[in-house]
Amino acid sequence: MKRYILQLSFKNFIEALKTKSSVLLVPRCIALPENISIDSLESWGIPYIYLYRDEYVKIYSGIIAPIKIFYRINSSGKVIISDDIRVLLGQSKSIRLDEQALIEFLAFGYTLGDKTLFRGIKFLKAGQILEYRDGEFTIKDRFIYGITVHKSRNISDLSIKEWMELLWDESIHIFKDLTRALMNRMIVVPLSSGFDSRFVVVMLKLLGVKNVLCLNYGIRNSWEKNVSQKVAEKLDYEWIFIEYTASKFLNIIRKHWFHDYILQASNFLTTPNLQELLSTYEFKNYHLHQKQCEIVFIPGHTGDFISGGHIYYDVLLAKNILGLVNTILKHHYIRKLPAPPLVVKIVYSYTWNLINRLANLGYRKVDLYRLYEIFDWRERQSKYIMSSTKPYEFFGFKYALPLRDKRFIELWDCVPLKWRYRRYLYRLFLSRLFSYFDLDFERKSFRYLYEMLLSKSVIDTLLNIGFSPFKQLWLKRWYNPCGFDVFFPLMARVSKVRSNKIEYFKKSLNLESTTRCYAHICDLTLNILSQHFSSSKSSDFQGQGITK
């Protein structure tokens, strides 16, 4: 007897291959070439669902889990699987809040591990495969960032020149595969002043892709706007700018669809990344009418992470587990430090569980900085950062993530630490590439002067002197060109949605203060999720009580 129930909404997956006995489902929102195989999907790190009659099920979450797959065990012992958590919630007789998951959500902006905000409902983490065979279910780690690749590739002793040649060959291979999925489509590249999006647009130019539009967004006086426009002009690509203002963000939260967007993008496990919600909305409503073909967004997620940009100096200084825990809290905790003892205990337990899990898989000696990167990859990258693609899905666009291609990530996993620290190899590689189009702005002496004199620490010190909000926004444009530190708190303050339980948890655990601007969106998200279930008598989202 079949021991599972697969309930797909089909808003996330479409059929790529179907025979009399089997079917292959691939993500609807990701731009893929026709007739793609399972081998290619796994090689690229793309999610898929493969069904063979009622005898075999294989579900791959993908290297970064862009589409979350949820599961729970019902009262009869069957496993219910869905790509929409609301399907599972609708079938539950009682919905019980997971208090630890809520604490994690408040502390980091997302739950940790495979938890959702509800007990008994879990999801496939990034790099995992769920299989049903011979009446048994298994969940395995197919890929673990920085760990599993080392058994298959041993190229860490190459020279810097050989590494650059490898990066070039892999980049060409990946972007050529991408162009096969872009036939007769309009490409939109969200082009900032950074390396990653510039890398994407330069590779498209080198491969002769012509139907490209560069989109920049942010506050009017942002220096990123000028750099982005200059890049587009040199590559002879169309460029548009969408200005971010307080009134536009306040207008967004009053839209009839905003709460529905939060529900879909959050999946009850993460704060949605709202960075491109406004720009995608305005592009669809005010610029799309000029385009007559299907749109594919190609953001530059996330070259800085895979190339070593998150291996901070203090991460390398960590000497033991407690030092690693403190470093994780320093870079990922969104409230004011020091973190409450309960939050420290949660991260400490998470770290030891990760170490034990790796040991059981045969990896008994793992560098502390690798553990830090695994946390970043499976928690922040696959949840909060990955949710930045949700505006594309919500407004009906496809997207592609060439810098999140598994082949590219595996190659960077093999690069020695000395070449990844401070993104040394990445900067050198892109400097050579950009120089062909005179786009290597970072080698200009004035840029180093800006970085030194207008760093975040210097500006924050100046702001403490007492500048007006307008002057603060003007100064912060150097490191916060979208103005989120002003707009996000305003959105949370203007919103009238409040939850007694959320406020109770924040006060009880001293989680009321915020140090990161998206902590305000975290609170707004939880209040909206709570309101969504406030009318349900079976839900305890509005209840009281806390276990310390």
Predicted TM-score (pTM) of the model is 0.91
Residue 530 makes CB contacts below 8 A (sequence gap 6+) with 499, 501, 502, 541, 542
What type of residue sits at position 113?
G
User: 534: exposed, middle or buried (C-beta count within 10 Å: 0-12, 13-18, 19+)?
Assistant: middle
DSSP state of 217: E
**What structural domains and CATH numbers belong to the chain?**
4-145 (3.60.20.10), 149-306+392-442 (3.40.50.620)
From CA 382, how far away is CA 262, in angstroms rounded? Answer: 17
What DSSP letter does each residue of 394-455 carry, written as one string?
Answer: HTT-EE--GGG-HHHHHHHHTS-HHHHGGGHHHHHHHHHHHHTTT--GGGSHHHHHHHHHT-
Torsion angle defined by CA atoms of residues 112, 116, 120 and 123, in that order, rounded to the nearest 10 degrees: -80
- Give the CA angle between residues 283, 26, 392 to the nearest 5°: 10
Structure tokens that stand for 319 in this block: 């000497």
Longest dimension (CA), the chain: 72
Distance of CA 114 to the CA centre of its chain: 15
Express each pLDDT in 451-510 by its tens digit.
445 545 554 554 455 555 544 554 454 457 788 888 888 888 888 777 777 887 788 878
Compute the mean pLDDT over every residue in the chain, rounded to the nearest whole number. 88
Q: Which of 151, 156, 159, 122 is nearest to 137 (CA)?
A: 122
Residues sharing a CB contact under 8 Å with residue 483, sequence separation 6 or more, in sequence order: 218, 219, 244, 473, 476, 477
Distance CA 326, CA 375 (A): 13
Reading the chain (548 residues) residue by residue, the pLDDT tens digits are 567 889 988 789 999 999 999 999 999 999 999 889 999 999 999 999 999 988 899 999 999 999 999 999 887 888 999 999 999 988 877 778 999 999 999 999 999 999 999 999 999 999 999 999 988 899 999 999 999 764 445 576 789 999 999 999 999 999 999 999 998 899 999 999 999 999 999 999 999 999 999 999 999 888 889 999 999 999 999 999 999 999 999 999 999 999 999 999 999 999 999 999 999 999 999 887 666 689 999 999 989 999 999 999 999 999 999 999 999 999 999 999 999 999 999 999 999 999 999 999 999 999 999 999 999 999 999 999 999 999 999 999 999 999 999 999 999 999 999 999 999 999 999 999 999 999 987 655 444 445 445 545 554 554 455 555 544 554 454 457 788 888 888 888 888 777 777 887 788 878 877 777 889 999 999 999 988 876 554 455 544 434 33
Contact 85, 121 (CB under 8 A): yes
Rounded to the nearest angstrom, the gap between the alpha carbon of residue 514 and the centroid of all alpha carbons in its chain is: 21
Q: Which of 279, 219, 273, 241 is nearest to 473 (CA)?
A: 219
- Helix/strand/coil for 370: helix
CA atoms of 225 and 242, how far apart (whole Å) = 10
Other CB atoms within a 10 A radius of the CB of residue 294 amount to: 14
Tokens of 526: 């939880």
Give per-residue burial for 139-166: e unless 16+ CB within 10 Å, then b: eeebbbbbbbbeeeeeeeeeeeeebbeb
